[in-house]
A = this chain, B = another copy of it.
Amino acid sequence: MSLENGFLKGIIPPLVTPLLGRDELDTEGLEKLVEHILAGGVHGLFVLGTTGEAPGLSYRLRQEIISRTCRQVAGRVPVVVGITDTSFAESANLARFSADSAASAVVLAPPYYFPAGQPELLEYIEHLVPELPLPLVLYNMPSHTKLVFEPDTVRKAMDIPEVIGLKDSSANMVYFHRLQLFLKERPDFTLLVGPEELLGETVLLGGHGGVCGGANLFPRLYVRLYEAAVAGDRTRVEELHELVMQISSTIYSVGHYGSSFLKGIKCALALEGICSDFMAEPFHRFNAPEKARISEYLDKFNPIINSQCC
């Protein structure tokens, strides 16, 4: 599916990858999850991102996810595919497979093993784009890649027409606003924010949407928040933003380490009967005590969201 006007916007959830084992897809769960999310009115789907545990999955499995998701979505919304890798050749391989599966675009964070300099990152993009059969969205994700696409590098990459957008997961809004200054030269360029806690302000101040992990669980909440911000309805934005913050400080904050968010979302999806909560190494699913807390939180939030976001 080609992007309409080459443009991505709105809520594009980073799809959780339902697993039965470390190298086995929960195919039934995947179907249910895709339908659950699409029913919420989202504007696209992003597979094989950080929330999708992509770097932890085998290439065989990544291909299975791409083809099954694209088939299931069947053109209802654009599907964008994460091709971030430490290997240029494997990124290009995934992009070709994505195009063959009728995906709409690919997403690339910096190759994250070697400490590349900014000119090297720019050259990486310049070399890679001609190998890609799909438009490219950059992905700034310093907490995981330990490399930043610095504003000046992004500005230079924006000279390449096939680079159509950037998703920023840094949580640093000064960075985000700095990139927004470049949009005058490229009004077709999309700026999406990663952390859902920042969706409201991003869209209020001219950003184009969000890649909200929580939209796996509560897709309609994020769609409504996006719509309120587009409409400039500040009261409604504040109200829904407050709800997002409460979810963030409960469901995503059980357990330790940087993985609480992922574990919480997967656990909640399993409790909702949508898909398995199995996680690929280096993580594992929540045990009973954490599960009980997530369950309580769901009992609290489900009625509120149902009443506020119908």
What residue in chain B is nearest A144 (Cβ atoms)? B113
A178 CA to B197 CA, complexed, in Å? 9
**Pair A111/B171 contact, Cβ less than 8 Å:** no
A145-167 contacts to B, CB under 8 A, are 145-146
Interface: A241 (CB within 8 A): yes
Within the complex, which residue of B88, B145, B198, B258 is in contact with A280, where a contact is CB–CB below 8 Å?
Answer: B88
Least CB distance, A262 to chain B, in whole angstroms: 8
Q: Is the CB of A55 within 8 A of B257?
A: no
- Asked, given contacts A172-B171, A248-B178, A284-B123, whether A87 binds B117 with beta carbons under 8 Å apart, the answer is no
Q: Does A273 contact B (CB under 8 A)?
A: no
Q: How far apart are A36's CB and chain B's nearest CB, in angstroms?
A: 25
Chain B residues, Cβ within 8 Å of A27: none
* Residues in B whose Cβ lies below 8 Å from that of A112: 112-113
Bound form: Cα–Cα A143–B89 in Å = 24
Please tell me if A23 contacts chain B, counting CB pairs below 8 Å: yes
Cα–Cα distance between A49 and B130 once the two chains are bound (Å): 29
Scoring A residues 78 to 108 as 1 if CB is less than 8 Å from chain B, else 0, what string do you get? 0000000011111001000000000000000
The complex is assembled from copies of this chain, and their number is 4
Identify which of B61, B87, B206 contacts A58 (C-beta below 8 A): B87
Q: Are B201 and A56 in contact (CB under 8 A)?
A: no
A120 CB–B CB distance under 8 Å? yes
Given A249-B178, A284-B123, decide whether A241 and B114 contact each other with a Cβ distance below 8 A: no
- Cross-chain contact A90 with B58 (CB below 8 angstroms): yes
Is residue A77 contacting chain B, with contact meaning CB distance below 8 A?
Answer: no
A89-B61, A114-B259 known; A281 vs B206 contact (CB < 8 Å): no
Interface string of A29-67 (1 = CB under 8 A from B): 000000000000000000000100001111111000000
> What is the CA–CA distance of A257 and B119 in the complex, to the nearest angstrom?
10
A234 cross-chain contacts in B, Cβ below 8 A? 204, 232, 234
- Chain B residues within 8 Å of A180, by CB: 245
Q: Which one of B117, B146, B257 contacts A146 once the chains associate, using CB atoms below 8 Å? A: B146
Assuming the contacts A173-B198, A197-B177, asked whether A257 and B120 have C-beta atoms less than 8 A apart, the reply is yes
- Alpha-carbon distance between A172 and B244 when the two chains are bound, in angstroms: 16
Q: Which of A60, A89, A145, A175 is packed against the most chain B CB atoms within 10 Å?
A: A89
Question: Contacts A245-B178, A257-B120 given: A56-B197 contact, CB under 8 Å?
Answer: no
Measured CB to CB, the nearest residue on chain B to A259 is B114
Closest 7 CB pairs of A and B: A201-B201, A55-B86, A115-B258, A58-B89, A55-B113, A116-B282, A117-B257
Can you show 6 pairs from A to B with CB atoms below 8 A apart? Answer: A57-B89, A110-B282, A123-B282, A128-B281, A177-B198, A204-B204
Q: A-side interface residues toward B, CB under 8 Å?
A: 22-23, 50, 55-61, 86-90, 93, 110-117, 120-121, 123-124, 127-128, 143-146, 171-175, 177-178, 180-181, 195, 197-198, 200-201, 204-206, 232, 234, 237-238, 241, 245-246, 248-249, 256-259, 280-284
